[in-house]
A = this chain, B = another copy of it.
Amino acid sequence: MALTTKDIARLAGVSQSTVSRSLNNSPLISDETRGRVLRIAEELGFELNANARGLSTNRTNTIGVIYPDDYLDHDVSLYLGSLLTQLRKILEQWDLDLIVAFKENRKTGVDSIKRLVMRKKVDALIIVQSHTDERTLEFLKKTNIPCVLLHFYQSSKATEGIDQVYADHVAGGYLGCEHLIKLGHRRILCVSAEGEEEYEQRRCGYRAALERYGIAYDPALMLNGDRTFQSGYDLVMDHEALFDSVTAVFVHTDIMALGVMEALKARGRRIPEDIAVVGYDDVELSAYFQPHLTTVHQPREELAAVACQHLMELLSSKRTVRGEQIKIQPSLVVRQSCGAHLVSTMVHDTDL
């Protein structure tokens, strides 16, 4: 049926092991022999059988990317693109393949991570954007498979010894709030979200900035939405008085921020003249929406690039120490919604 090394061997007049060594660039083979073998293999479009190879070497040349169950979340899908782009460079260079899986099989309840690892389908893992439970973390440590947690910082006894690459959401929260303070705002409403730790971290940053500039934290100025456009819209409509009482809003999700702006506009408030808005994430939409949204940029590309590179170091055994934690700094993208372009005393980079 399909060609095998044995076939190539016969055609090249050498043994099967010589073919194998030639195709794997073993230094044992003479240039002449290797050349002959490679030429024949090339002509016939021969490729080594990955299963047989994996069985022999116990390596699959495949890495797994694990997504959370609630994939459809907008902020999750955001990472897919950057991650794939970064991964691609590495994959191409090292001749690796990429298996994408979701954390858990909803039907059978099977943990995909364990499944992929135990079945020896992957050599390494990138676990994206989700809280990883202790049992899984322990499993990862026990198997000692090269692995990177890519997301927010997750700290517990269980994460010790697991490599993490994450954005500094506390710093992001601080940045956004500080920017508004520097523009002269004192009553800054914070619209955050529940569920993941990153939002708690952003709230921490918000409070830290207030404290740093001597503004008392007012719990009444803290709302939580569910991260959707509609949720942002509804919050404004449900808390009219509250929104009327502040001069600025710091929304912890761009999509929600767009909803907030839409509602504010519908209520006749001008942005940023009447009320300043700062978002968080820097999604594609935020650059197009009117007014262009000032927001905290998630360093997606950098996170993905660093995670990939780090993983390759683990895979190639260049790095043996485990449990590194790499923190990436977010940055502020100043556009129009914060009103910085109306204030002459600040230096900034308005775009568009």
Contacts of A119 in B (CB 8 A): 47-50
Interface residues of A in 264-282 (CB under 8 A from B): 265
The answer on a CB contact under 8 Å between B88 and A71 is yes
Contact mask A31-62 → B, CB, 8 Å, 1/0? 00000000000000111111111110000101
A88 to B107 CA separation, bound complex (whole angstroms): 11
Are B285 and A288 neighbours in the complex by a CB distance under 8 Å? yes
> Is there an interface contact between A115 and B47, defined as CB atoms closer than 8 Å?
yes
Assembly CA distance A85 to B120 (angstroms): 25
Distance between A111 CB and nearest chain B CB, rounded to angstroms: 10
Chain B CB within 8 A of A80 CB:
yes
Chain A residues with a Cβ closer than 8 Å to the other chain, count: 52
Q: Which residues of B contact A62 (CB under 8 A)?
A: 99, 121
- In the complex this chain forms, how many copies of it are found? 2
State whether the Cβ of A92 lies closer than 8 Å to any Cβ in chain B: yes
**At the interface, yes or no: A98 with Cβ under 8 Å from chain B?**
yes
B106 touches A92 (CB 8 A): yes
Residues of B near A60 (CB, < 8 A) are 50-51
| A residues with CB within 8 A of B | 2, 45-55, 60, 62, 71-72, 74, 77, 80-81, 84-85, 88, 92-93, 97-102, 105-108, 114-116, 118-121, 229, 258-259, 262, 265, 284-285, 288-290
Residues of chain B lying within 8 A (CB to CB) of residue A47: 114-115, 118-119
Q: Which residues of B are found within 8 Å of A102, using beta-carbon distances?
A: 88
Q: Does the CB pair A101–B97 fall under 8 Å?
A: yes
Which of B48, B55, B100 is in CB contact (< 8 Å) with A51?
B55
The 9 closest A-B pairs by CB, nearest first: A51-B54, A47-B118, A50-B119, A51-B55, A92-B105, A47-B119, A51-B51, A50-B121, A92-B107
